């Protein structure tokens, strides 16, 4: 029988020119996310807050008819062990030119002071995440026309030396007031990035250690942006268990 719980609370202030938002979410490690729909994980406490501002009170600025900016931050811990899952910030700014072309800039910084991923290792223990910084820009043609073209470029930088550039165009046609048709292409690659892979290679030994079975053949796993090096880290729990076992496949 499940005995977990989930709690969320928020405070928003909407004044069009300055909008404020904040919230707190607590989900215990015994809570089953499938009980309430699309929740991807449990065992976390998250606090977030930020603001949205229309520049120059929403009036034109130079060659732009309007512009806005937003800044949000969040931080959290695992519910069970109070392990920090990092501090992150997101900044973005949208600008609309007098010809209705749009420009969007974004910056995302995660794990600023370090942090752990406690869910992505399939029960093998927490993984320390490197600092991450992502920069992106999107430029869209006249949004009042039936045909629109959008160009996007993004680059991610990791504290352990990894790099992940990505780019791609998008074509959209406004078929009617209720129907939009779009075609999007993207290309990305990761350099020097390290991500988690499956854990079926690990086998527990009688002395509490973990080892990679000789009968298992390493495979490469496709991550969100591409294929990167695989890293495995095992941190067994319980008294008398040995040091973490590590493996790597290129």
Confidence of residue 213 (pLDDT cuts 50, 70, 90): low
pLDDT of 200 higher than 60: no
Angle (CA) 196 197 200, round 5°: 135
pLDDT-derived band at 244, boundaries 50, 70, 90: very low
Closest of 66, 108, 103 to residue 87, by C-alpha: 108
Average pLDDT over residues 57-81: 93
Question: Which structure tokens are listed for 20?
Answer: 């404020």
Q: What is the pLDDT of residues 9-63, one digit of tens each?
A: 999 988 778 999 999 999 898 887 776 666 667 888 999 999 999 999 989 999 9
Residue 119's pLDDT is 77
Round to whole Å and give the CA distance between 150 and 168. Answer: 9
pLDDT digits (tens, 9 = 90+) for 180-198: 999 999 999 999 877 766 5
**Over 90: is that where the pLDDT of 214 sits?**
no
Q: What is the pLDDT of residue 81?
A: 87
Quick: pLDDT tens for 223-243.
333 333 333 333 333 333 333
Question: How far, in Å, CA of 164 to CA of 94, rounded?
Answer: 24
Average pLDDT (130-135) is 94
When pLDDT is averaged across residues 97-102 and rounded to a whole number, the result is 95
pLDDT tens figures, 146-182: 999 999 999 999 998 899 999 999 999 998 888 999 9
**In Å, what is the CA distance from 134 to each residue of 41, 122, 129, 147?**
24, 26, 15, 29
Higher pLDDT, 237 or 79: 79
**DSSP single-letter state for residue 98:** T
**212 vs 109, more confident:** 109
- Could you give the percent of the chain with pLDDT greater than 90? 50
Query: Beta strand 64-77 with 84-97: parallel, antiparallel or unpaired?
Result: antiparallel
What does the pLDDT read at residue 233? Answer: 36
Q: What is the pLDDT of residue 73?
A: 96
pLDDT for position 137 = 97
- Would you give the DSSP letter of residue 143? T
- Could you give the CA distance from residue 94 to residue 64 in angstroms, rounded to a whole number? 10
Q: What is the pLDDT of residue 92?
A: 97
* pLDDT value of residue 95: 97
Instruction: Band the pLDDT of 123: cuts 50, 70, 90.
Output: low
Domain ranges of the chain: 193-250
Q: Say what the pLDDT of residue 221 is.
A: 39
């Amino acid at each position: 029988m499940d005995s977990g719980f989930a709690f969320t609370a928020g405070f928003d202030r909407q004044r069009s020119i300055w909008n404020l938002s904040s919230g707190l979410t607590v989900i215990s490690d015994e809570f089953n996310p499938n009980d309430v729909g699309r929740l991807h994980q449990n065992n976390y406490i998250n606090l977030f807050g930020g603001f949205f501002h229309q520049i120059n009170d929403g009036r034109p600025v130079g060659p732009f008819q309007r512009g806005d900016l937003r800044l949000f931050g969040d931080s959290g811990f695992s519910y069970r062990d109070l392990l920090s899952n990092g501090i992150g910030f997101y900044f973005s700014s949208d600008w609309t030119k007098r010809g209705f072309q749009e420009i969007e800039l974004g910056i995302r910084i995660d794990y600023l002071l370090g942090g752990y991923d406690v869910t992505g290792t399939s029960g093998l223990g927490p993984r320390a995440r490197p600092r991450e910084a992502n920069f992106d820009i999107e430029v869209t043609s006249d949004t009042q026309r039936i045909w629109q073209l959008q160009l996007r470029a993004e680059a991610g930088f990791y504290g352990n030396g990894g790099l992940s550039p990505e780019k791609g165009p998008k074509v959209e046609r406004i078929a009617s007031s209720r129907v939009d048709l779009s075609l999007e292409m993207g290309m990305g690659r990761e350099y020097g990035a390290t991500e988690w892979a499956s854990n079926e290679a690990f086998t527990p030994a009688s002395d509490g250690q973990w080892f990679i079975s000789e009968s298992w053949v390493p495979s490469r796993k496709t991550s969100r942006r591409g294929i990167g090096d695989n890293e495995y880290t095992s941190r067994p729990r319980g008294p008398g268990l040995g040091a973490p076992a590590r493996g790597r496949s290129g």
